[in-house]
Structure 1
């Protein structure tokens, strides 16, 4: 028997969650699905090439991820999942399958997948209501497909990182800012940076950190673990605090986003803005809160090696 694809696991996972009276652990859901699958123990124990998890568990995980992106499943707490109100509203008995094409009718999923479907020729980009996946496969080279899937994985990791950050306390966020700035080469020692952040509470400034290990210049920090969009008044307040300190450099870091007016105001003042998207990108770039599970190398022929001297 062939292992089901993640697409083929979406409907069984939805039906399983519909049976539950309360949120269920993904590991428990995976076990139930494996018991119902009719697969042999050898098939269920097949591991990914990385050796980190079974193929079946990985595919259930991706089925869950895509259903979450479509807002059909919600995660009330870490490691648990349940049907969302939208998921409960669907008559699963009328469906023969759930796949990416079906999920494209949900706006949140279409937005999530839009980057994955982008190709250089915009005329070939499919309409979100009727994606032409075969056309995409024919127009993309294997290297382009590898890059697109890598970007999709990265977006998923960034989304999960931001969710985890928001679930933790403001104190955790301040420590995270310290770790990130030190990883980027700022703040001198980690101890110096830790003492600088979250200690001033001085008129809109959350911390002061050295730009280099010698402490030749200072950077003033504002770190906000917020849900709401940061507006121009917040930037103006930070700008005023910088002026009081006769400071030249400021960085405003948040888990949310900045309004257009806030961005324009910051540009005029030389304030660097780091929103949730850029924050998680930097975390991945500097290996903070993530680990490399597996890497791929793209090879090309070294033509010079095969040229004979005349």
Structure 2
């Protein structure tokens, strides 16, 4: 079942609140999820930021807009009640409620036409995209920017020399916490006769515990099962079973299977998508362009006043 958008939720929400004096959020969610026939899997889907279930987020925004329009109020924290205005709306037997519908109401018109400097408390803003909530819009925008940055980053890496790519990989792994705090906690060794090892991460200052790295800067070719077997063989020559294989492209299904054949081998495979994600997360090869804070009410603060 597709999760309904916040506008579709508005009318069923009002109708449910009209069946009793007031309801807590838990009962609102239970009733609406049953009304829309949502499964447990549907209810586990989260907003792009991952901070809240998508359905609950949409219900919350539906409540917010209906409260602003005067159809709902909050007699106490987390409890919702239909107002007299809301009861009157239900008596009109409307077919649906949407942002466009709310915009047409006299009170909403008055709020939107109010000069913010003259009366900032009554100014209300509705989303330009009426199909998603502001949280979803923000999350989707961030996701789009992240995906574009990841593609740009991969494109640059594919244009670097093998030695430059190997240095990038080792710098990233070091930034991710592999290695020590010493300046020389990693070493690029990739060259002819390197026996399939491109880099070494020293996990302690004496170099007794090491992680070996293979880095393949490939544009389109996928890493095959044979490449993984060769890497495992190279690790065996070094007397270890621990290594990281990184590529700008992708691994074949057989390559993934080969890496997992022997449970004693600890082989981590990082494809181009993961590589760019890790680099962005750990700020390697990227920089912060802008930062924004999204704030919400601190209800505990006001309850303790």
TM-score (norm 1): 0.52
**Separation in 2, partners of 1:299, 1:273:** 38
- Deviation, 1:140, is 2.5
Question: What's the secondary structure of 2:184's corresponding residue?
Answer: helix
Segments of 5+ residues of structure 2 without an aligned counterpart are: 1-47, 56-99, 101-127
Q: 1:191 to 1:214 in 2, by over 3 A?
A: closer
Q: 1:171 aligns with which of 163, 174, 191?
A: 163
1:288 shift after superposition: 0.8
TM-score by length of 2: 0.53
The total of aligned residue pairs comes to 179
Counterpart position of 1:198 = 190
Higher helix share: 1
Deviations 1:155-177 (A, max 9, x none): 00000000011111111101111
Q: Does 1:220 align with 2:212?
A: yes
* Structure of greater Rg: 2
Aligned to 1:57: none
Secondary structure of the 2:245 match is strand
Matching residue of 2:277? 281
Q: Residue in 2 aligned with 1:302?
A: 298
1:145 CA drift (Å): 1.2
Q: Secondary structure at the match of 2:214?
A: strand
The structural deviation recorded for 1:247 is 0.6
Alignment pair present for 1:291 and 2:283 = no
User: Match for 1:141 among 133, 145, 149?
Assistant: 133
- RMSD (CA atoms): 2.7
Cα pair 2:214 2:231 within 8 Å, conserved:
yes
Deviations 1:255-289 (A, max 9, x none): 11101110111123321011111111111111111
Q: Deviations over 1:80-127 (max 9, x none)?
A: xxxxxxxxxxxxxxxxxxxxxxxxxxxxxxxxxxxx9xx968xxxxxx
Gaps of 5+ in 1: 1-115, 122-133
Q: Secondary structure at the match of 1:209?
A: strand
Tell me if structure 2 keeps the 8 A contact 1:253–1:274: yes
- 1:252 maps to 2:270: no
Report the Cα distance in structure 1 between the residues aligned to 2:193 and 2:201, rounded to whole angstroms: 14
Cα 1:209/1:200, change in 2 over 3 Å: farther
